[in-house]
Amino acid sequence: MLEPGELGRLLGPGGNELLCESCFEELDRYVELGLGDADADAQIPGMREHLEGCPACREDYESLRAFVLSEGRKAR
């Protein structure tokens, strides 16, 4: 079996995935679900695959998650 990395970046996630606009629409809900007890991947199918395949959306997700966590810490 070959290692992933660049091959994965070239060929992408493979399965069904959202596209960038749908990803952006769902991003806030996905982040909140992920920070709670819910199964975000089950509730928003195709999101995880898109975040694996789209570096820019992945960065957006990581930023929003980090900022919401940061704000939550300040609120406590």
Partner 1 sequence: MGAKDSGSPTAGRDVEARVDGEAERGVPPRPTAGSELSKPDSGRWVEELSTEGRVRDDAVARLHALLLRAARFEVKRRRGSLPHLRGDELEDIAHQSADDAVVAVLGKLGDFRGESLFTTWAYKFALLETAVNLRRRAWQGRETPLEPESWPHFDDPHASPEADAERSELMAAIGDAVATALTPHQRHVLVSVALNDVPIDVLADRLGTTRGALYKTIHDARRKLRTKLAESGLEVAAAGEGARP
Binding residues for partner 1 (CB under 8 A): 1-22, 24-25, 27-29, 31-38, 43-46, 49, 52-56, 59-60, 63-64, 66-72, 75
CA dihedral 21, 56, 48, 61 (to 10 degrees): -90
At closest approach, how far in Å is the CB of 58 from partner 1?
11
Is-contact 40 34, C-beta < 8 A? yes
Closest approach, Cβ 25 to partner 1, in A, equals 7
Structure token digits, residue 32:
């909140």
